[in-house]
């Protein structure tokens, strides 16, 4: 057995490549500024940073669609396998823009909540919150742009280290316990991922995904490595049955944090799994494993939804709904099958899966923010105590309802378009059992959404006790996110060309020896 020589990376830094570095560095600069300028200016700095981050995300999108090919930056000018590459293709850009929008919205929502308060007992909390928020946005960008498996390891660890403190921001024993469980579980996952990275390096002498694609062989070493990395990431993505840390962690965090955790953080590790299975693993080895991933996804959908229906508290209900909705993402693996003529990313299941990811991100963020507002208004989030709540804070419940509409897959919403595409894919691929799961999931989602909405919209027997006023701005942020979940339902019901940019043959990466002369 000889170590195959990895090819030199087949591309140079592209003109817009510096944007990728900015996407990662700007949040870090923001964090440094927060620490140096003191707590009075924390919010201003953080929000400005988020705005700049959003602008950079849009700039990368413009650059990508303008050139029609991947944006690449080689760190220090070194080509992989020795150097590191940052690489934005259509998929990365979609996720970067998604992250920028959701985190930006959460920032506007959290403004004032984590502001400078000289009388608060915990003076560090505001600084900590904004630091972590910026940290997550930078770390997620690093995941979406990273092209090196070890680089991705560092990025996913950064995400974990920023997400865990967000869970226990209030410093209560319960949330700290949830955070500790989350951390330990995530660490188990990351150390297994690292072992997989070690095996891959020993086999191929490179960790660059684009290069691995051309040298990866069908052999046990690769299988064990990919299995270790995949399962490690599944633990972080909280796919059933490795979801056990999620409900407590996501339900215990402050609303703004829950929104980011549920909408984005779990998607970061999912993104890496996607790249492992579609960008490294040779297509002939995926079949059974893909069915297994989707099988776990199907269990997640059914199991998570049923438990969500049984929950007594709103935030736990939403958290279990996340467990269920994550399941849909894994249906991509067997459904997005590629062929010689059409690669996997040009299939409708691929577009459907990414659409599900995005619509769930918007919908779930909106729902968690709404749950936070419910807590503000009534001082609790027991579903049984929310009869008539919709009459007190209608905008909040409209946001919740629109988000729920997307989860149920009602038209016109992103959830509907995603389900439509995935159903079409499962019929087209002859894998009707996934269609049955998707439909059942929709019915169960209707169950848990209506369970909240129906009493909330009804006339209460006794007048509901209102604890405090609800900020109109925060309500509108939740509503705006829910409307986003609706609007992305209007994408054409066909493979999205954007998701194909910078992937496959036109990037020169699929062809072994595809080095530009």
Partner 1 sequence: MTGATFDTATLYGLCGAALVGIGLFGLVLDPKPIRKILAFNLVGAGVFLVFGVIARRGAAAGFGGDPVPQALVITGIVVAFSATALAVTLVQRLSSAATDAGQPGQAASVPPKGETGTPGQGDAAS
Partner 2 sequence: MSGSLLSGDATNGAGLLLALALLFPLVLAVGLSFPAARARIGTLLAIAPLPALAVALLGNGARFVMPGPFRLTLALDASGAMLMGAAALLWTAAALYAPAYWQGGSMLRRAGLWWLFTLAGSLGVFVADDVVSFYLLFSLVSLAAYGLVVLEGNSSVRRAGAIYVGFAVLGEAFLLIAFVLLANASPGGSLAIADVVQGLPFSPWRDWTLLFLILGFGTKMAQVPLHLWMPLSYRATPIPAVAALSGAAVKAGVIGLARFLPFDSGSVPWGELLTVIGMISAFYGVLVGLTQTNPKAILAYSSISQMGVIAAVLGMGLAAGRASAPAEATFYAVHHLFAKGGLFLAIGVVAATGRWRIWPVFIPAAFVALGIAGLPLTGGALAKLAVKDALGYGLVGTLGKLSAIASTVLMIRFLTVLRGTARTDAGEALAPLTLRLVWWGVAALAVLAPWILLTPATGYPLSDAVSPSTLFDGIWPLAIGGLLAIGGRRLLPNPPRIPPGDILALLRPVGRLAGAASVAIERTEARLREWPIAGAIFLGLVLAFSIAMYLAGSS
From the list 31-39, 80-88, 99-107, 224-232, the region that binds partner 2 by CB under 8 A is 224-232
Residues 141-160 that bind partner 1 (CB under 8 A): 150, 153-154, 157, 160
Nearest-approach distance from CB 182 to partner 2, in angstroms: 12
Nearest-approach distance from CB 131 to partner 1, in angstroms: 14
> Of 424, 407, 435, 416, which is closest to residue 494 (Cα–Cα)?
424
Q: Examine residue 463 and tell whether it contacts partner 2 (CB under 8 A).
A: no
Residue 69 contacts residue 507 (beta carbons within 8 Å): yes
What does the alpha-carbon distance between residue 319 and residue 182 come to, in Å, rounded to a whole number? Answer: 14
What does the alpha-carbon distance between residue 13 and residue 91 come to, in Å, rounded to a whole number? Answer: 19
Q: Examine residue 361 and tell whether it contacts partner 2 (CB under 8 A).
A: no
Type and span of the H or E element at 88: strand 85-88
- Angle between the N-to-C axes of helices 173-204 and 220-237, in degrees from 0 to 180, rounded to the nearest 10: 160
Q: Out of 33, 48, 313, 424, which residue is the one contacting partner 1 (CB under 8 A)?
A: 313
What does the alpha-carbon distance between residue 68 and residue 351 come to, in Å, rounded to a whole number? Answer: 18
Q: Out of 125, 133, 179, 445, which residue is the one contacting partner 1 (CB under 8 A)?
A: 179
Q: Out of 180, 187, 231, 464, which residue is the one contacting partner 2 (CB under 8 A)?
A: 231
DSSP string over 413-458:
SHHHHHHHHHHHHHHHTT-HHHHHHHHHHHHHHHHHHHHHHHHHHS
What does the alpha-carbon distance between residue 322 and residue 319 come to, in Å, rounded to a whole number? Answer: 5
Q: Out of 76, 119, 173, 288, which residue is the one contacting partner 2 (CB under 8 A)?
A: 288
Both tokens of residue 248? 């407590």
What does the alpha-carbon distance between residue 297 and residue 434 come to, in Å, rounded to a whole number? Answer: 10
Bridge partners of residue 406, in order along the sequence: none
User: Considering beta carbons, is residue 97 or 493 the nearer one to partner 2?
Assistant: 493
Residues 327-386 that bind partner 1 (CB under 8 A): 380-382, 384
Taking CB atoms within 8 Å and a gap of at least 24, the contacts of 281-289 are 281/216, 281/222, 281/226, 282/216, 282/217, 282/218, 283/338, 283/344, 284/218, 285/218, 285/222, 285/223, 286/333, 287/334, 289/230, 289/333
Nearest-approach distance from CB 331 to partner 1, in angstroms: 25
Q: Examine residue 434 and tell whether it contacts partner 2 (CB under 8 A).
A: no
Q: Examine residue 224 and tell whether it contacts partner 1 (CB under 8 A).
A: no
Q: Examine residue 252 and tell whether it contacts partner 1 (CB under 8 A).
A: yes
What dihedral do alpha carbons 458, 463, 468, 470 form, nearest 10°?
A: 20
Number of other CB atoms surrounding residue 426 within 10 Å = 23
User: Considering beta carbons, is residue 88 or 226 the nearer one to partner 2?
Assistant: 226
Nearest-approach distance from CB 428 to partner 1, in angstroms: 37
Q: Convert residues 239-278 into a mask of x (bound to partner 2 by CB under 8 A) and - (unbound).
A: --xx-x----------------------------------
User: Considering beta carbons, is residue 81 or 304 the nearer one to partner 2?
Assistant: 304
From the list 67-75, 187-195, 262-270, 409-417, the region that binds partner 1 by CB under 8 A is 187-195
Both tokens of residue 61? 């999108």
Could you tell which of partner 1, partner 2, none binds residue 27, using a CB distance below 5 to 8 A set by kind? Answer: none
Q: Out of 120, 427, 511, 515, which residue is the one contacting partner 2 (CB under 8 A)?
A: 427
Cis peptide before 241 (omega within 30 of 0): yes
Could you tell which of partner 2, partner 1, none binds residue 351, using a CB distance below 5 to 8 A set by kind? Answer: none
Could you tell which of partner 1, partner 2, none binds residue 218, using a CB distance below 5 to 8 A set by kind? Answer: partner 2
> If binding means CB under 8 A, how many residues of this protein chain bind partner 1?
56
DSSP string over 260-300:
HIIIIIHHHHHHHHHHIIIIIS-GGGTHHHHHHHHHHHHHH
Residue ranges that bind partner 1, judged by CB under 8 A: 1-3, 81-82, 150, 153-154, 157, 160-161, 164-165, 168, 171-181, 183-184, 187-188, 190-191, 194-195, 197-199, 201-202, 205, 247-249, 251-252, 307, 310-313, 315-316, 320, 380-382, 384
Residue ranges that bind partner 2, judged by CB under 8 A: 185, 188, 192, 218-220, 222-224, 226-228, 230-231, 234-235, 241-242, 244, 281-282, 284-289, 291-292, 303, 306-307, 309-310, 408-412, 419-420, 423-424, 427-428, 435, 439, 442-443, 446, 450, 454, 457-459, 490-494
């Amino acid at each position: 057995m000889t170590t195959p020589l990895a090819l030199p990376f087949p591309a140079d830094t592209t003109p817009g490549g510096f944007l990728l570095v900015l996407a990662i560095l700007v949040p870090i600069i923001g964090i440094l500024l927060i620490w140096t300028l003191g707590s009075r200016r924390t919010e201003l700095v953080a929000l400005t940073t988020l705005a700049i981050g959003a602008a950079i995300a849009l700039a990368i999108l413009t650059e990508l669609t303008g050139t029609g090919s991947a944006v690449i930056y080689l760190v220090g000018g070194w080509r992989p396998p020795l150097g590191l590459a940052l690489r934005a293709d259509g998929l990365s850009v979609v996720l970067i823009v998604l992250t920028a929008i959701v985190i930006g919205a959460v920032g506007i929502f959290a403004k004032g909540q984590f502001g400078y308060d000289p009388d608060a007992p915990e003076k560090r909390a505001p600084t900590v919150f904004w630091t972590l928020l910026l940290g997550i946005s930078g770390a997620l960008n690093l995941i979406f742009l990273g092209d090196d498996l070890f680089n991705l390891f560092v990025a996913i660890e950064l995400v974990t280290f920023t997400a865990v403190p967000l869970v226990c921001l209030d410093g209560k024993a319960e949330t700290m316990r949830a955070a500790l469980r989350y951390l330990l579980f995530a660490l188990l996952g990351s150390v297994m991922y690292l072992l997989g990275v070690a095996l891959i390096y020993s086999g191929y002498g490179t960790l660059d995904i684009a290069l691995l694609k051309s040298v990866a062989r069908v052999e046990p070493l690769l299988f064990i490595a990919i299995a270790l990395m995949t399962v490690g990431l599944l633990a972080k993505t909280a796919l059933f049955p490795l979801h056990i840390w999620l409900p407590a962690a996501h339900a215990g965090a402050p609303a703004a944090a829950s929104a980011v955790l549920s909408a984005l953080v779990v998607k970061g590790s999912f993104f890496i799994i996607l790249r492992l299975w579609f960008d490294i693993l040779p297509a002939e080895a995926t079949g059974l494993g893909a069915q297994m991933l989707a099988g776990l996804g199907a269990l997640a959908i059914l199991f998570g939804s049923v438990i969500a229906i049984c929950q007594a508290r709103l935030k736990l209900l939403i958290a279990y709904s996340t467990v269920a909705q994550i399941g849909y993402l894994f249906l991509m693996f067997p459904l997005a099958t590629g062929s010689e003529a059409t690669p996997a990313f040009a299939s409708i299941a691929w577009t459907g899966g990414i659409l599900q990811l995005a619509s769930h991100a918007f919908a779930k963020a909106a729902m968690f923010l709404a749950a936070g507002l419910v807590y503000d208004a009534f001082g609790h989030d027991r579903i049984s105590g929310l009869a008539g709540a919709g009459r007190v804070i209608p905008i909040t419940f409209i946001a919740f309802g629109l988000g729920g509409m997307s989860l149920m897959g009602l038209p016109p919403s992103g959830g509907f378009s995603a389900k439509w595409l995935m159903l079409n894919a499962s019929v087209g691929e002859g894998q009707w059992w996934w269609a049955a799961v998707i439909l059942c999931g929709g019915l169960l989602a209707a169950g848990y959404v209506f369970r909240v909405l129906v009493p909330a919209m009804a006339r209460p027997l006794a007048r509901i006790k209102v604890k405090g006023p609800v900020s109109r701005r925060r309500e509108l942020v939740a509503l705006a996110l829910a409307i986003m979940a609706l609007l992305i339902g209007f994408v054409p019901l066909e493979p999205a060309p954007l998701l194909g940019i910078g992937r496959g043959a036109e990037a020169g990466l699929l062809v072994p020896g595809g080095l530009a002369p």
